[in-house]
Amino acid sequence: MLDFFTIFSKGGIVLWCFQGAGVTESFAGPVNALIRSVILQERSGNNSYTHEALSLKYKLDNEFELIFVVGFQKILTLTYVDKFIDDVQLHFRDRYKNELEQKGPLKLIQNNFEFEDDFKILLRDAEESSKARSHAQMRTFTQSEKSQKTVKSMIETKGGEKVKEQGGKKNKNTKKEAPAAEPVKVDQGKASSSGQKMVENGSHGLTSEEIMQKKREEFFRKRTTVPTEKPTSKSPKPQKPKEKQRRVWDMGGNSTKALDYSGRNGDGSSNDGDQNQEAHIDLGMQLNSMKGDLQSVEYESSEEEEEDEEEEEEEEERVVVREKTKMSSKKSGGFGGMFGMLKGLVGSKSLTREDMESVLDKMRDHLIAKNVAAEISSRLCDSVAKKLEGKVMGTFTTVASTVKQALQGSLVQILQPKRRVDILRDVMDAQSQRRPFVITFCGVNGVGKSTNLAKISFWLIENGFTVLIAACDTFRAGAVEQLRTHQRRLNSLHPPEQHGGRPVVQLYEKGYGKDAAGIAMEAIAYARNQVFDVVLVDTAGRMQDNAPLMTALAKLIAINMPDLVLFVGEALVGNEAVDQLVKFNQALADHSMSEKPRLIDGIVLTKFDTIDDKVGAAISMTYITGQPIVFVGTGQTYNDLRSLNARAVVSALMKA
């Protein structure tokens, strides 16, 4: 039933392993995938992992730094695996406790761990217990409730139901007949009310001619009476508000023609020398400032360190008070109470889940308040609990400080990418192959895809590359014009005269309502013929629930196979970030035509300057995709583009 079971240390030394009958493949591949994707990435909140056709379950032993892993076919439903892996851990610890306490990898290699007999006994007991629980005997007919009923009782029951139904039908019919008499009562009420009105008007018993004569007399009487004039008091007219006086500037001059600049650039050229000179004067500080790698996001940490020290001191005082109360309740001597208090602070006790529960709850609430998704916060806290459970605390350390340090380490590990995305190096590599480097931007509506595409274009131009922008947003009104404005502005900052007469940025567009995948394909072919270094593909914003647009995006990526697929997301979102990334990746996987679909390769985090220290969206996005944050947008100008500093973000996240 089991394919393999292995026990190894966190240093990578295999202490003991077992392979099932008929299993020829090595378990090194699945176990290495588990280590890379789960254990090293601090995702150990869930103790199961799927690798191809295998389902893996694991357990961490933090006291002896061991990992227990069992693998079996994922089509099987083995209910005894969780209890079985716990039993194996306890038996292995108890049997080789002295050997495991010896520190150092050489001593572990020299020890001989003979565990096969005990393992087979535990496996046999687990399988037999699961079989005993699974079998449930079927009841006989005499044991069922149906056997106790007679035919007569069933007939009487049906007859009684029929009688009730007939009675119910009669009641319904009587209810339907009742409303027939109501209109008569209403008519009588109306007639009586109209009769009362006629009596009140004094026209009861008169003929129609007499009634007409009476109404004429009343009409003429009203016309002949002259209304008395009331003295009208004239109210004073409201004064008009004083008009705002035009301000006259000393250096303003008297003629408005001097302020008219519309005729100075009459040829309509966008790359005129005067315009370039103005661009250099206005934005000269931006040029030549983004060569090489981007600057990282920084945070001030002086206040944070002081607050951290104060929190740790408070926690230590609470532990001291708690230990004092325990000692006083036991009525121990003075020296015994003092040494007991010190014993509580010094690392003499291994951590349990109950010890960390209150601290983890506070940490979970703190992460949610910092804009981390609620589901991700729970997973992170569970991962930290499994990482620390059974671990012996250090000297003079508290539970709160230990949990906080472990959580900080986990967050830094999550934000640091599994692979480094070096776009400048990749573009140079594509240049050597005489092809353009293609980057596709995707995301929901209004997150800043076009704006950050222009920032990345400016960064690439500063590093000496030529850029072709493919306008594949054929849906939103004004999308092409926005990119054309960025192209004109970037060319004014880097005029063609400084680059051999060739514009460093060009826009490839075919208007609106066209197929985005076809435009991207034509743009890449055009860039290859015209020897452009980079192609930036701008796509239309789409919600993750819009199936037709998600299908079109998957088609664009599957046909053109870009070198880099970047998801553009806001730093303002919380739980929504999880839903967006999961559904974007799922759509790309579902609509791909290859066995290994192309998913999101990196993240562009925008509007990072608007969130202060609520940087939790970076954790949520990186945790879900496992991909790095490549760019961070920190403002409105072309210079406001940064790379992510994991430690600075974590320090801001843990700030109280």
pLDDT at position 426, please? 93
Residue with tokens 């192609």: 535
Buried b (16+ CB within 10 A) or exposed e, 475-494: eeeebbebbeebbebbbbbb
Q: Considering the domain boundaries, does residue 206 fall inside one?
A: no
* Half-sphere exposure (Cβ direction) of 620: Cα atoms closer than 13 Å: 30
pLDDT at position 295, please? 80
Beta-bridge partners for 196: none
Burial of 255 (0-12, 13-18, 19+ CB in 10 A): exposed
- For the record, the structure tokens of 335 come out as 């020296």
pLDDT of residue 89 exceeding 80? yes
Residue with tokens 């039908």: 169
Closest CA to 389 of 366, 419, 356: 356
pLDDT at position 193, please? 45
Closest CA to 594 of 553, 548, 555: 555
Per-residue pLDDT reduced to its tens digit, 527-539: 999 999 999 999 9
pLDDT of residue 633 exceeding 70? yes
Domain boundary at 129, 162, 188, which?
Answer: 129
pLDDT at position 428, please? 93
pLDDT at position 444, please? 92
Of 82-96, 137-151, 455-469, where does mean pLDDT reach its minimum? 137-151
The confidence band for 217, taking pLDDT boundaries of 50, 70 and 90, is confident
| Among 6-10, 170-174, 266-270, 428-432, the range of highest mean pLDDT | 428-432
Q: What is the percent of the chain where pLDDT is above 70?
A: 71
Q: Greater confidence, 125 or 22?
A: 125
- Distance (Å, whole) CA 109 – CA 9: 11
- Distance (Å, whole) CA 577 – CA 615: 12
Tell me how crowded residue 408 is: count the other CB atoms within 10 A of its CB: 17
Indicate the pairing of strand 534-539 with strand 467-472.
parallel
Q: What is the mean pLDDT of the chain?
A: 76
Q: How many independent structural domains does the chain possess? A: 2
- For the record, the structure tokens of 452 come out as 């950050």
Q: Greater confidence, 398 or 519?
A: 519
Per-residue pLDDT reduced to its tens digit, 540-549: 988 888 888 8
Question: Coil, strand or helix: which one is 224?
Answer: helix
| Among 136-145, 331-340, 578-587, the range of highest mean pLDDT | 578-587
- For the record, the structure tokens of 457 come out as 């274009």
Q: Greater confidence, 212 or 175?
A: 212
Buried b (16+ CB within 10 A) or exposed e, 211-226: eeeeeeeeeeeeeeee
Domain boundary at 129, 154, 169, which?
Answer: 129
Q: Are 35 and 43 in contact (CB under 8 A)?
A: no
Q: Considering the domain boundaries, does residue 623 fall inside one?
A: yes
- Distance (Å, whole) CA 24 – CA 19: 8
Per-residue pLDDT reduced to its tens digit, 264-273: 544 444 444 4
- Distance (Å, whole) CA 109 – CA 311: 43
Q: Considering the domain boundaries, does residue 600 fall inside one?
A: yes
Q: Greater confidence, 187 or 364?
A: 364
The confidence band for 331, taking pLDDT boundaries of 50, 70 and 90, is very low
The strand order across the sheet containing 54-61 reads 14-19, 4-9, 66-73, 54-61, 48-51
* Half-sphere exposure (Cβ direction) of 465: Cα atoms closer than 13 Å: 31
Cα-to-chain-centroid distance, residue 518: 31
Q: Greater confidence, 332 or 481?
A: 481
The confidence band for 26, taking pLDDT boundaries of 50, 70 and 90, is confident
The confidence band for 605, taking pLDDT boundaries of 50, 70 and 90, is very high
Indicate the pairing of strand 534-539 with strand 505-508.
unpaired
Average pLDDT estimate for 626-654: 88
- Distance (Å, whole) CA 606 – CA 454: 13
552 Cβ contact list (under 8 Å, min separation 6): 516, 517
Write out the DSSP string of 52-78. TTEEEEEEEETTTTEEEEEEEETTS--
- Distance (Å, whole) CA 465 – CA 421: 18
Of 13-17, 109-113, 618-622, where does mean pLDDT reach its minimum? 109-113
Q: Greater confidence, 310 or 246?
A: 246
| Among 67-81, 428-442, 498-512, the range of highest mean pLDDT | 428-442
Domain boundary at 78, 110, 129, which?
Answer: 129
pLDDT of residue 275 exceeding 80? no
pLDDT at position 486, please? 94
Q: Considering the domain boundaries, does residue 322 fall inside one?
A: no
Q: Considering the domain boundaries, does residue 162 fall inside one?
A: no
Average pLDDT estimate for 195-203: 47
pLDDT at position 323, please? 47
pLDDT of residue 320 exceeding 60? no
| Among 121-135, 452-466, 565-579, the range of highest mean pLDDT | 452-466
pLDDT of residue 495 exceeding 50? yes
480 Cβ contact list (under 8 Å, min separation 6): 471, 473, 507, 509, 511, 512
Average pLDDT estimate for 358-373: 90
Q: Greater confidence, 643 or 397?
A: 643
Of 14-23, 190-199, 229-238, where does mean pLDDT reach its minimum? 190-199
Average pLDDT estimate for 54-71: 87
Average pLDDT estimate for 625-652: 88
- Distance (Å, whole) CA 487 – CA 467: 10
pLDDT of residue 19 exceeding 70? yes
pLDDT at position 583, please? 87
* Half-sphere exposure (Cβ direction) of 12: Cα atoms closer than 13 Å: 5
Q: Are 618 and 372 in contact (CB under 8 A)?
A: no
Tell me the residue range of the domain where 525 lies. 423-653
The confidence band for 487, taking pLDDT boundaries of 50, 70 and 90, is very high
- What single DSSP character describes residue 332? -
Q: Considering the domain boundaries, does residue 68 fall inside one?
A: yes
The confidence band for 105, taking pLDDT boundaries of 50, 70 and 90, is low
* Planar angle of CA 381, 386, 392, nearest 5 degrees: 115
Which CATH number covers residue 513? 3.40.50.300
Gap between the terminal Cα atoms of the chain? 50
The strand order across the sheet containing 505-508 reads 505-508, 467-472, 534-539, 437-443, 564-570, 602-606, 629-633, 641-642
Q: Considering the domain boundaries, does residue 8 fall inside one?
A: yes
Indicate the pairing of strand 629-633 with strand 602-606.
parallel
Residue with tokens 């919600």: 543
Q: Greater confidence, 340 or 407?
A: 407
Q: Considering the domain boundaries, does residue 301 fall inside one?
A: no
pLDDT of residue 224 exceeding 70? no
Alpha-carbon distances of 311 from 315, 406, 655, rounded to whole Å: 6, 16, 11
Which CATH number covers residue 76? 3.30.450.60
pLDDT at position 589, please? 86
